A and B are shown apart, each in its own frame.
Chain A
């Protein structure tokens, strides 16, 4: 069962990735994929302060593994990363039938074109504001997964 089926991930009981019951409560579960440890730390702090449960991955390949292993309400995905870019990870997720909403974060001038290429509704251009990111994450969570036909 993929996250787009039925209720949002956060309402379908706790998910365990390490044998412990994770904090699958509050506003929902976010997977944060970014190669910059500062960004991961700062975004995680703020998302958790807002009531989101956050898991991290350091690049696209790791992000893909974590996304496949757990159910997330929203994925916040950096674009330019070692080993696997955000765009490649998004394609791989969709190919695997995982339709979790993705917020693509990039400093690329062609952010909108990249997002459209992969069929993503949400993107944010760097440098960005925490408020704007939180707004997009809330919005993406509320709208839920994109139907397969829409892509």
Chain B
């Protein structure tokens, strides 16, 4: 039977070099095994640190990640309240880039490792920066579960951050000076990571768009409006996370969880919108053919253009349809659909409504999507779906 006693496990390891599987949680044991193989020294009081110049250069190279993470680190710090804590950002090599938190934890005699500190497991064993990177997911280290003694007063929770392409971009972690992991902090941390990943995606997509729009000035205004609506969605996500952080120390747990859940929904919706926007803007992107439920695509477009329609005083409506999946070139379909709906919105006066409906007549090999102005009962456009099969 496992009786977790990390302090005793640490004491035995330091005196004999033996790892005691019975005394450690499996995730922590694996981290210690990696640290042991990497030659980390458990008696080390603190982490190795880059020189001030190297740290400055590193922070300069990682400026985008640092600025994307900063509001989320402040939200985490706010949630931790008055207790000693630090929100930490590390790069993909487990080097600390930024620390925000309680003054005693950032600058005091018991400060957490600052920018430039190397926290890979090979250098200092299990910790809230190196272990999530090594594990590829959420990790928490409570007190003596940390491999080196200098970290024993803290509980650290960390989650890796992924760049838009899926590569690891870094790690977000929160450390508190107590020997107990906080469930609310864990949820907030995971939501903050989704937020930072969405910020990185937004930055990348906006950068790509700058190049694309120079070659397509005729579409610039439309696509810029949609970009602004995507940024608006991001604003709502940030504000919700911030509100959840402010509620984290309150007594209304339900309100806090609800707010956090809604923030998460916004970030997920943001990612869908940003990807849709990218597909629409990039004229050269084609294929691959993939299974698509057309009504879902229409719903996503309506979500994307909903604010634009509302700003024009018009309404966009998707007529529900129980269509099966079709194998289509999703990107080309999105562009055609976007143009058709935009044309309908351009033609619709304030107070009007645009309906989008997927339909398939008997005998047709593939469905089509009708875009109709309901106020004038006019079919504005039909998008013929080029399907490679069902």
Nearest CB on A from B197, distance (A): 14
- Asked if B240 lies at the interface with its beta carbon under 8 angstroms from chain A, I say yes
Given contacts A39-B239, A43-B239, A131-B71, 6 further A-B contacts (CB under 8 A): A35-B310, A39-B232, A107-B227, A126-B234, A127-B237, A131-B74
List chain B positions with a Cβ less than 8 A from chain A. 71, 74, 199, 202, 224-225, 227-229, 231-232, 234-240, 242-243, 246, 307, 310-313, 350
Residues in A neighbouring B199, C-beta threshold 8 A: 127
Q: Give the size category of A's interface with B.
A: 20 to 34
Pull 27 A–B residue pairs with CB atoms less than 8 Å apart, ordered by A.
A35-B310, A36-B307, A38-B236, A38-B240, A39-B236, A39-B239, A46-B242, A46-B246, A80-B311, A81-B311, A82-B310, A82-B311, A82-B312, A82-B313, A82-B350, A83-B313, A106-B228, A107-B227, A107-B229, A108-B228, A126-B231, A126-B232, A126-B234, A127-B232, A127-B234, A130-B238, A131-B74
Residues in A neighbouring B231, C-beta threshold 8 A: 107, 126-127
Nearest CB on A from B245, distance (A): 10
- Asked if A143 lies at the interface with its beta carbon under 8 angstroms from chain B, I say no
- For the residues of A in contact with B, the DSSP-based class is loop
Which of B74, B307, B310 has a CB less than 8 Å from the CB of A129? B74
Q: A residues 26-72 with Cβ under 8 Å of B?
A: 35-36, 38-39, 42-43, 45-46, 49
Tell me, in angstroms, the Cα distance from A109 to B223 when the chains sit together: 13
Nearest CB on A from B255, distance (A): 11
Task: Choose among A35, A49, A83, A107 the residue with the greatest number of B CB atoms under 10 Å from its CB.
Answer: A107
CB closest residue in chain B, given A83 = B313
Tell me, in angstroms, the Cα distance from A108 to B230 when the chains sit together: 11
Q: Are B312 and A107 in contact (CB under 8 A)?
A: no
Tell me, in angstroms, the Cα distance from A130 to B311 when the chains sit together: 24
